A and B are shown apart, each in its own frame.
Chain A
Amino acid sequence: MTSPSNTAAGCAAPDQSAPLPAGVDLTRETVITGIVSTASGEAVAGAYVRLLDGSGEFTAEVVTSPEGAFRFFAAPGSWTLRALSRGGNGEVIVDATVGVNEVGLSVAPA
């Protein structure tokens, strides 16, 4: 579902990302999900991940789970994911399509 350019090193395996609530129709929803990690691959819990639209405008924000996972329900198109954490920030662009889009997002000190 995700084009290769979006799949950063250390991209999470599907079973590590946030479980989908029952009743979510994956033929209609565009789910963007993944793990925030440090450069050394350590998951970052409690990071703030924001979803920015094609014009860079804020669309939504979530806090990562204890396993570092985040999840958005978006729409097909180009989005930017930006993470803020005590250990640094990071961002990645994703071209999302209907279904589950797995994205790795790493943070590093500025």
Chain B
Amino acid sequence: MSRDTALVSADWAEQNLDTPGIVFVEVDEDTTAYDGGHIPGAIKIDWKKDLQDPVRRDFVNQEQFGALLSERGIKNDDVVVLYGGNNNWFAAYAYWYFKLYGHGDVKLLDGGRKKWELDARPYTKDVPVREKTSYTASAPDLSIRAFRDEVVQAIGVKNLVDVRSPDEFAGRLLAPAHLPQEQSQRGGHIPTAISVPWSKAANEDGTFKSDEELAKIYGEAGLDGSKDTIAYCRIGERSSHTWFVLKELLGQQNVKNYDGSWTEYGSLIGVPIALGDEPGKA
């Protein structure tokens, strides 16, 4: 993958709002954003209601994902353009799902809602009606998803990239600062993880930095290009943003997103935790 295939600009999007075979999908944590105004023709996916299993702590499985896209009227050969609020965190998370379940052509709208709004581009409250389809999801591609045992084994071996804010990395905050801080898990980070906040990869308007800037940021932070990489955050959405940068924009091989992230790791009994601003020892 590369920037040319994985990312589209707001200009491109605005020119292709009515192009057949292209489906715009807004993915948000707070879906009232969509209800208050969205890109014309876009449908919505609710990060929590639509993409998480309602009972088990896991996201939707292959059948559930296929059923969701069928119900929303997305075909296997549609070009899906994802965007959202929160600097595209949840759109990047959904992008990772689309890849995991083998969707052919999926793209992220650079800058998401923020860039669109700062540019004063059009929104509508009209909700499109799409005919149901028969979408077939592929078996999950687990080469891009990390689970907890693999993460523990990766300490001191693979690149671990903690993409939360420096204060969450150090253990001074337990959640992003737009959320209440009372949490059950312990604070800190996975030993040997480097701290590269997701925001380093984005400009203030939510667009991604250039490939040259991105390569420099991760190189200077100590990411070893010869090793496999696992990215994590608190619940796996910000790390999807960094996974997208490393895998889809920079084209690195063997990059996984650990979606269990800190809410799982920080609750495990007996695993090592490092406190403070340094990566710590294995």
Chain A residues proximal to chain B, CB less than 8 Å:
21, 23-25, 28-29, 46, 48, 50-51, 53, 55, 57-63, 71-75, 84-86
The 7 A-B pairs at the shortest CB distance, nearest first, are namely A58-B199, A60-B177, A60-B178, A59-B165, A72-B177, A74-B177, A59-B177
Given the contacts A63-B85, A84-B118, A86-B120, A57 and B165 also touching, CB distance less than 8 Å: yes
| Cα of A57 to Cα of B170 in the assembled complex, Å | 14
Let me know if A48 and B199 touch, CB within 8 A: no
Let me know if A60 and B176 touch, CB within 8 A: yes
Let me know if B197 and A58 touch, CB within 8 A: yes
Measured between beta carbons, the chain A residues less than 8 angstroms from B204 are 50, 84
Given the contacts A29-B180, A73-B179, A61 and B166 also touching, CB distance less than 8 Å: no
Q: Is B212 an interface residue (CB 8 A)?
A: no
Chain B residues proximal to chain A, CB less than 8 Å:
33, 85-87, 114, 117-118, 120, 165-167, 172-173, 175-182, 197, 199, 204-205
| 5 new A-B contacts at CB < 8 Å, known A23-B180, A53-B167, A59-B165 | A53-B166, A55-B166, A60-B165, A73-B178, A75-B167
Measured between beta carbons, the chain A residues less than 8 angstroms from B172 are 75
Let me know if A57 and B117 touch, CB within 8 A: no
Let me know if B199 and A57 touch, CB within 8 A: yes
Given the contacts A53-B166, A57-B197, A84-B204, A72 and B178 also touching, CB distance less than 8 Å: yes
Measured between beta carbons, the chain A residues less than 8 angstroms from B175 are 73
